Amino acid sequence: MTLPAETNLVQLTPAAAEVVRQLRKERDLDESYALRLYIAGRTCSGLQYGMALDNHPSPTDLIFECEGVKLLVDDQSIEYLRGALVDFIDDARGKGFLVENPNALPPCSCESGSCGL
């Protein structure tokens, strides 16, 4: 399902969008490759995010654009990612993508480490 460019389901900062463009260039991938963002699971620490460059959207993916970069989000992950902001940081916290998610579930208090979605 393709959504209009003004849709703000998930936002990329300019820094994150530039890193995606650089990754495509380094890997010799054309602009048909989008940033796929998905929920990879949940642990006691909270939601775990996955990202990949992908040019094979499924029929149920939401497809939209932000900062000139196409994004793909599957129909299940969007429920957890709606309103999230993806940034790229390189500071005292580390270097990498950072997802600021208003829907982040609170960490659980289980001791087994077997939390799941």
The full set of domains in the chain, from first to last, is 10-100 (2.60.300.12)
**Phi–psi pair at 78, nearest 5 degrees:** -60, -30
| pLDDT tens for each residue of 47-70 | 889 999 999 999 999 999 999 999
Q: What is the pTM of this model?
A: 0.81
Predicted pLDDT of residue 4? 43
pLDDT over threshold 80, residue 5: no
Tokens of 85: 């902001």
Average pLDDT, the chain: 86
pLDDT over threshold 70, residue 28: yes
Query: Cα torsion at 54, 104, 8, 65 (round to 10°)?
Result: -10
Residue 15's pLDDT band, with cuts at 50, 70 and 90, is very high
Predicted pLDDT of residue 110? 62
Kindly calculate the radius of gyration of the chain based on its CA atoms and give it in whole angstroms: 15
